[in-house]
Structure 1
Amino acid sequence: MDNTISSSLSSVPLSVNQSIHIKQTMSSQTTVFVSGASGFIALHVVNDLLNAGYKVIGSARSQEKCDQLLAKFKNHPSLSMVIVPDISDLNAFDDVFKKYGKEIKIVLHTASPFRFDVNDYEKDLLIPALNGTKSILNAIKQYAAQTVERVVITSSMAAQLNTIYMNDKSITVDETSWNDATWEGCQTDPVSAYCASKGFAEKAAWDFLKENKDQVKFKLSTVLPVYVFGPQLFPEPSKKVLNTSSEIINQIVNADKDTELMQMNGGFIDVRDVAKAHLLAFQKDECAGERLSLYGGMFSTQDFLDIINEDFPQLKGKIPVGKPGTGKDVIENSYKINNERTKKLLGFEFINKRDCVDASVQQILETEGKL
């Protein structure tokens, strides 16, 4: 299926406050396949690819989602969409690579479930994450072994740390760290199952490459973001609930002053930096074979409350205040991340916490007609 429809390059939105790294020699006529192209991160990735001159084939679960995405990009001539209805199917990506395998040079596998409103952890989280990775790599091996040059898999910091250590201040994770949860042991709650699913899927990718290094030519990189915040590429006024990470900020903006918010903490990164890192992961030779840890610093719910109350006076007195200034105490008592290697490999500065939060809140208020 090829839904390519003609339009103009100027229709593609530029990422907010984000420059695009363009490697013209590679982008000219190079085809990139992006699985799960309608996701929060993936939309920014597709946008950056189109702005950098790549031809993009994206996948989504239904014809409706494919059509919606094409419409969002105003039917850009370098974008086409294919349907991959269920990544749990071990043959999920066969048809894509049967048809486009001789054309695709870069594969960005972003498709994986990230949701906590599930009860069957194996069916809804573990199997789709693992089988999605296995199916796309097997399809490359079978139909595009000598064509695909680089593969980038969207993993997660969740693949680096078991949830039982999240509030252990003696723990520091880096690019060599792995979540040690077991398949059976992780199925206690959706967060633990999700985190483990990312570890199983990423390990499967590295194992695949080791076992098939003589049968495929591609080099592998993985991208491991922490909680991802920042603006939606295409904000929708009718969409009251955002993706899992962005919903943390959305709930604060839409809370009343007496709401008791769930206290969360962890690492943050801006979605615009995550998208940029996906491109650099395959553009830069030194990123081949690397796990790229995308981490801009730590956050707590209280940090977000403090920033939003300070920077958006129109919300002050309407949203909770919490206990100002105590966020640092929560952060000091949680795990740490060292991603110095990744920062050197990527070579750009990540967007800071305040700018990331402000961009998110500004967009929510504009979308809801509150500015």
Structure 2
Amino acid sequence: MVDKVFITGASGFIAQHIVKLLVSKGYFVIGTVRSKDKGEKLKANLNSPNFKYEIVPDIINEGAFDDALKSNADIKYILHTASPFTYDTSDPEKDLIIPAIRGTENILNSIYKYQPNAEKVVITSSDAAIYSATDEQNSSLSFDETSWNNISYEDAVKEPIAAYYGAKAFAEKLSWKFLNEKKPNFKLVTVNPVYVFGPQAFLNEVKPTLNVSNELINNLIKIGPNGHFDNDKGGFIDVRDVAKAHLYALEKDELIGKRLFMTNGHFSVQMMLDIISSNFPELKSKIPVGTPGSGPKDITTLASVSNAKTRELLKFDFIPLDKIVVDTIAQVFEAKAKL
């Protein structure tokens, strides 16, 4: 019998990679999407009899996942990836915090009621649940898989970045609390990635403007040689490694009860610019110069992080920054060539 996996937010950037990987490994995947159009596009891209979708228009509605879970028997694994990621909001509580909390509450309650025999639940959390946006930028601090962002709700609602970080922390804490209080049959794993970069799961998902993280890379080839860019910095990880971590969370019992801190080091946008310049010489006159070579100094202001426990559990090498940037830019050009 083929194992069934239920995944929320199946049309998202990370989720599409997870779904693609699961289908390739022989799982039957049921994905929730917000609309028929999104579901049909994903179904066409996968082109597999081992995928179906359920429409869940709004994850914040009470019982949002009830019908989808009631109508699909014997689901073994559930992955919850659906949660907003944007800093472009004038109402961060409404657009970020409430959906993250209620979406997590709703999926856990629905599993408890309608899929009591589910074996594992994997929550796509974030490094934002490990530290606050302010603490991440403090070089005197250090963090690992045991660390928590303890931002207050009052502080989180003040502005979008704090709201995103708070939303992920509140939602993940809720999931562990649910496990301790309800004591369901399922086991829990969380995946906590930093900035997630890398190519889209499908070429037709490459748009003029990419998702929030990848647009840091894509923007560099759009703004011209005199264009201004913010030299953002933080942790980086490839989306393909994040997808693989979700698969391992389902398949490897030694990951039960763990938080997988997915990072492969620190980046600055200048580092990405330098990688583009050295790997795509034809773009040198078309992109900004910035301050070449300043990357190692740029990231000295960031907090120290260790994910040694995660690496030991996963036992695979993470994709380096240069390959992430090159693969992402190469896919953008491939998509343009097909227009």
TM-score by length of 1: 0.89
Corresponding residue of 1:84: 56
Measure the CA separation in 2 of the matches of 1:271 and 1:314: 27
Detail structure 1 runs of 4+ shifted over 3 Å in the superposition: none
- Are 1:228 and 2:199 counterparts? no
Residue 140 of structure 1, aligned match among 100, 106, 111: 111
Deviations 1:252-279 (A, max 9, x none): 1212010110110000000000000000
Question: Offset at 1:121?
Answer: 0.9
- Are 1:273 and 2:241 counterparts? yes
Residues 238 and 201 of structure 1: CA distance in aligned 2, closer, same or farther (over 3 Å):
closer
Q: Secondary structure at the match of 1:224?
A: strand
Matches within 5 A, 1:355-366: 355-366=323-334
- Are 1:189 and 2:147 counterparts? no
Asked if 2 retains the 8 angstrom alpha-carbon contact of 1:113 and 1:125, the reply is: yes
Question: Offset at 1:228?
Answer: 0.5
Residues 265 and 47 of structure 1: CA distance in aligned 2, closer, same or farther (over 3 Å):
same
Asked if 1 retains the 8 angstrom alpha-carbon contact of 2:200 and 2:206, the reply is: no
Matches within 5 A, 1:170-189: 170-189=140-159
Corresponding residue of 1:211: 181
Q: Secondary structure at the match of 1:242?
A: coil
Question: Offset at 1:236?
Answer: 3.0
Q: Secondary structure at the match of 1:33?
A: strand
- Please state which structure has a larger fraction of its residues in helix: 2
- Are 1:96 and 2:68 counterparts? yes
| Structure 1 portions without partners, runs of 5+ | 1-27
Corresponding residue of 2:225: 257
Q: Secondary structure at the match of 1:315?
A: helix
Question: Offset at 1:69?
Answer: 1.2
Matches within 5 A, 1:271-350: 271-350=239-318
Corresponding residue of 1:72: 45
Question: Offset at 1:308?
Answer: 0.6
Question: Offset at 1:166?
Answer: 2.4
Aligned sequence identity (%): 48
Question: Offset at 1:370?
Answer: 9.7
Residues 370 and 255 of structure 1: CA distance in aligned 2, closer, same or farther (over 3 Å):
farther
Corresponding residue of 1:115: 86
Corresponding residue of 2:119: 149
- Are 1:46 and 2:10 counterparts? no
Question: Offset at 1:118?
Answer: 1.1
Deviations 1:310-347 (A, max 9, x none): 11111101101100111111111111210000000011
Asked if 2 retains the 8 angstrom alpha-carbon contact of 1:118 and 1:124, the reply is: yes
- Are 1:58 and 2:31 counterparts? yes
Q: Secondary structure at the match of 2:196?
A: strand
RMSD over aligned CA atoms reads 1.4
TM-score by length of 2: 0.97
| Structure 2 portions without partners, runs of 5+ | none
Deviations 1:206-227 (A, max 9, x none): 00000011xx210000000000
Measure the CA separation in 2 of the matches of 1:39 and 1:286: 27
Question: Offset at 1:167?
Answer: 1.7
Corresponding residue of 1:128: 99
